[in-house]
Structure 1
Amino acid sequence: MQPLLSLEAVSKHFAGHQALRDVELGVSAGEFVALLGPSGCGKTTLLRCIAGFLIPESGRIRIEGEDITAAPPYRRPLNTVFQSYALFPHMSVADNVAYGPRRAGASRREAQGRAREALALVGLGEMGARLPRALSGGQQQRVALARAIVNRPKLLLLDEPLSALDLKLRRRMQIELKHIQEKLGIAFIFVTHDQEEAMAMADRIVVMHAGRIEQVGAPADIYRAPATRFVAEFVGEPNLIPATPAGPGRARLAFAGLELAVPEGTSCAMVRPEDVVLVEGAAAPDLATATGVVEDVVAIGSVTTVFVRCGDLVLKVARLGMSGADLEPGATVAVGLRPAGLHFIAG
């Protein structure tokens, strides 16, 4: 099946700096895709190229097979929601949302009807008469979303639209935004530097670094099986255990003297903190264990992280709730992990 959006070797330069390097990506109709990466990785530049605000030096951008690489923004069947909601302060909420249909030639009556439908969809059906300044940040964000979807574009681009909201509101809006996207069936491309936001909302995550795509995959695959060391370190909190060659197809890990069969080129093994345990009493037969010293304990209520030094290696051990919060730095503990659960990373 032909993808809704196709990016073919898209590259972009700024004053000698290569912001995008041969980016290849396909997005299906109705899919929620998150562009995730640190500041300066190229995710917003890529979004602006898709929107038509920037023109790449090379490569092609297609929607349903049509080449739109050089088309102006108003000729593209998409819309964009920015970080700043850019609402017209002198217009009512309803008039803000009706502005797009009016510009497209709809009658005032039709535009107002479509605005009411869009506002109802985002849960603001009773607030059409208010001015933007009378709304909270979360409500303004939903007005901006209603304005973007009122014309039912094939693709909606969102450039960190939740970044100005406080933590609790942002998490609530993540859930609401995902539900709205599923109800509409419109493809979303969502730019964020917040890994938890991407994990919570996206069908697929595109991890970017230095203008390139490092990995594309479902959130669980990105988290459990990162393709590169950068992805492992950027998404979640990894324990990376150095590996040294120990013969053809084998490596010795810097933990408990483990020697294992590994893929060619393996430089380290990864295990997530929740998969490392503090061993009390006899260890299970499938656990590799080592003795270490507690360096620090960080308890945030829902999770307690214990930092344990085993020789030159410091392992993070995650425990639910406050279990382990009473451990003191300097205490001797045994830590264990399952070799079968290790993920090996090359390079």
Structure 2
Amino acid sequence: MIYLDYQASTPLAPEAFEAMVPWLRDQFANPHSASRLGRAAKAAIEVAREQVAVLLPPGGRVVFTSGATEALNWAVKGSRGSVVTIASEHAAVLDTARAEGARGREVTVLPVRPDGRIDLWVARRVLGQGAGLLAAMLVNNEIGIIQPVPELARIARQNGAVVLCDAVQGYGRIAIPEECDMVAISAHKIHGPKGVGALWIRDGVTLDPLLDGGDQEIGRSGTLSPALCVGFGVAARLMMERQGADAAHIARLWDIATHRLSGWTINGSEEHRYHGNLNVRRRGLDVNRLMSDCRNVAFSAGSACASGSGRPSHVLKAIGLLDADARSSIRLGFGRYTTEAELREALDLIVAAADAQQVFA
């Protein structure tokens, strides 16, 4: 199986796996216990917290969560005032904002241009009317578009809003804007384990708790897993150490993929995007048949969180695609452990299967 679904999840780094094993097999103590073993587990978590924080702005704290969905829910539900967000955001933000709207909170969803980017003039006009929270994704999970978050954040903060950045796809790959007040991240998108994420909270920003209980993380309740936190920390360290090498490798893979798919249309801006995400369409393509014909290649017809819904991607609809074009789009995600040979083989299979559809159409 050739794996090209890096936006859904990344392969676990061997170094992260090895670091986790002792905490799964031998060192099983509760990190919130006062025992010697408990203190050792807590110390390991604090090391991981520092490793994760290195790639985040200064002047805040990292709070471990069960994943980015919990972090985003907490940030939105725990903040005050009206919510402004963007039509191409992840469902963890849009659905949470809608739920808050159903409870009476004012919610505004800003449109995006055909290139997938927000119009700063529109954002300035809306945020100028006042808002409690701006929620914006740094790198889109479906089409890889990089939003102008620093500029958005400055506009929001000038108008009194707190800024939440969904950096799940961007963390470790592009710089996290220092203008943000909260940043949500996830371990399994950076070659770490599933089941752990974090919310970075700027000093002075307060949130109502999402979960009641022991308040183990000072604002977040629940027993932490030393194994998951340690794996997250090692994955973050590797993202920092390998940033240059990973970026160069991904740039080479992007060149290979775009050259091989030269007759396809790239969805969203070609300039403002992360090159490990290639979302393309081909008119009349039956994506379900393509995935069946290329069953030895793992790729996506959209966000993993919306797979099986039968609905066209809300992100592709937000950039103005008709249903037929949205349904004829695929997402290819590649990264650190994708070899050039694998990518070439997968692309040949995909192109051959797509060409066969036209022949027999």
TM-score by length of 1: 0.27
Which structure shows the higher helix fraction?
Answer: 2
More contact order relative to length (CA 8 Å, sep ≥ 6): 2
Greater C-alpha radius of gyration: 1
State the TM-score, normalized to the length of structure 2.
Answer: 0.27
More strand by share: 1
